[in-house]
């Protein structure tokens, strides 16, 4: 008893502290668990020459029409800035009107995208090439007029895709040679996801899954405080067939590049739209699909294209050193995932095997 009396103050302090810690813990937990009954609407459309699907969630469904319209408006703005299919987009105007060796003024946003792209080009040792348009133009894959070009014309077009001849300055770009052209085909859908995310952040939607061609913006939550389950396209299935499911939280963009997306066949050969900047021909790296999951949409899209060109080993090395999660499918239908996805990816399609990457 004398012990208790002597240490009364200390014991009271300890009990008060423990009680306080317990209450904080319970408070945090109960704030975490939401379980709100959110409702969803699905909207379909087109932008960037690709299909758009928006699944939007909110407690009050009536707000979702406006959110969908705001997203469409944002997508139109991006298309009007970046698309080579839009006759007066900023990119088309640059491609057409620059003078070799002189500075061509660009908007701040376009310059910031180009800075990220140049970094990606460096990090992937040129597998991602921001000025590959002379080659993609030649193959005509983005424009519907597909043709197998002569080797001579490929070599000539390749000489216009040299990033050493492309220099960014504070408010513009300098192309040192004639015939150079930017191409946002590999990053546009991902950077659109970044811009859509910003629209969502200021909107009344609580959660969303927006798919823009091969890129999917996953936003917020569905009210159940659980991760989103996102299906990855089966590269040898019909459109919408699922290779597997990955669990992600509502901050991620998921981009997939594959040889099944835009391709044509001539004399029994499949020519797809992902070009190896070293050869000027469709990349033949042994991969048929690459999925990249990260918070930066531009990066996820650009990387999925670049890693397709790089092949499994180099792409795995990139993924490990840059801590980015990826899913690879090889020609012989083997599926590899980075360590971060081992617990959250489930292969569901038949005919594929999930392999352990050992190197």
Residues that bind ligand AMP (CB under 6 A): 127-129, 132, 136, 141-142, 183, 185-186, 214, 257, 261-262, 273-275, 277, 301, 304-305, 309
CB of 177 to Mg ion, least distance (A): 25
Q: Which stretch binds Mg ion (CB under 5 A): 19-27, 48-56, 244-252, 255-263?
A: 255-263
| Residue 193 sits in the site that holds Mg ion (CB under 5 A) | no
Rounded distance between C-alpha atoms, residue 87 and residue 73, angstroms: 18
Complex with ligand AMP: residue 40 or 153, whichever CB lies closer:
153
**Least spacing, CB of residue 274 vs Mg ion, in Å:** 8
Least distance (Å) from Mg ion to the CB of residue 84? 15
Tokens of 284: 């033949």
- Does position 285 bind Mg ion by CB under 5 A? no
Q: Please give the C-alpha separations between residue 50 and each of 65, 189, 224, 300, 339, in angstroms, as whole numbers.
A: 21, 9, 31, 18, 32
The item of ligand AMP, Mg ion, none sharing an interface with residue 277, based on CB under 5 to 8 Å by kind, is ligand AMP
Q: Which stretch binds Mg ion (CB under 5 A): 94-102, 283-291, 300-308, 335-343?
A: 300-308
Structure-block tokens of residue 285: 């790296």
**Cα radius of gyration (the chain):** 24
User: How many whole angstroms separate alpha carbon 156 and alpha carbon 152?
Assistant: 6
Strand order in the sheet with 287-294: 39-47, 50-58, 207-212, 215-220, 253-258, 287-294, 325-330, 334-337, 353-354
Q: Residue 68 binds which one of Mg ion, ligand AMP, none, with CB within 5 to 8 A depending on kind? A: none
**C-beta separation of 293 from 254 below 8 A:** yes
The distance of closest approach from Cβ of residue 183 to ligand AMP in the complex, given in angstroms and rounded to an integer, is: 5
DSSP state of 328: E
Shortest distance, CB of residue 231 to ligand AMP, whole angstroms? 18
Q: Which residues bind Mg ion (CB under 5 A)?
A: 186, 257, 301, 304-305
């Amino acid at each position: 008893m004398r012990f208790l009396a002597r240490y009364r103050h200390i014991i009271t302090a300890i009990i008060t502290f423990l009680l306080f810690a317990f209450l904080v813990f319970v408070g945090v937990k109960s704030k975490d668990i939401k379980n709100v009954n959110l409702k969803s609407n699905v909207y379909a459309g087109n932008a960037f020459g690709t299909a758009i699907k928006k699944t939007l969630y909110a407690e009050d469904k009536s707000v979702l029409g406006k959110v969908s319209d705001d997203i469409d408006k944002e997508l139109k703005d991006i298309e009007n800035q970046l698309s080579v299919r839009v006759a007066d987009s900023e990119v088309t105007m640059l491609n057409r009107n620059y003078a070799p060796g002189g500075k061509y003024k660009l908007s701040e946003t376009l310059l910031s995208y180009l800075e990220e792209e140049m970094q990606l080009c460096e990090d992937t040792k040129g597998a991602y090439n921001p000025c590959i348009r002379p080659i993609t133009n030649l193959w005509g894959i983005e424009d519907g007029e597909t043709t197998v070009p002569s080797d001579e014309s490929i070599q000539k077009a390749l000489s216009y895709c040299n990033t050493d001849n492309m220099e960014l300055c504070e408010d513009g770009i300098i192309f040192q040679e004639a015939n150079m052209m930017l191409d946002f085909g590999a990053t546009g859908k991902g950077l659109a996801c970044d811009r859509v995310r910003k629209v969502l952040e200021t909107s009344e939607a609580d959660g969303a899954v927006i798919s823009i061609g091969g890129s999917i913006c996953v936003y917020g939550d569905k009210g159940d405080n659980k991760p989103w389950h996102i299906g990855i396209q089966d590269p040898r299935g019909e459109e919408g067939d699922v290779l597997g499911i990955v669990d992600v939280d509502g901050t991620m963009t998921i981009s997939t590049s594959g040889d099944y997306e835009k391709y044509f066949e001539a004399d029994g050969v499949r020519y797809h739209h992902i070009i190896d900047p070293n050869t000027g021909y469709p990349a033949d790296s042994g991969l048929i699909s690459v999925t990249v999951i990260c918070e930066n949409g531009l990066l996820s899209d650009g990387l999925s294209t670049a890693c397709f060109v790089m092949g499994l080993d180099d792409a795995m090395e990139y993924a490990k050193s840059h801590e980015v999660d990826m899913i690879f499918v090889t020609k012989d239908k083997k599926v590899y995932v980075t360590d971060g996805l081992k617990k959250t990816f489930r292969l569901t399609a038949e005919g594929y095997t999930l392999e352990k990457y050992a190197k």
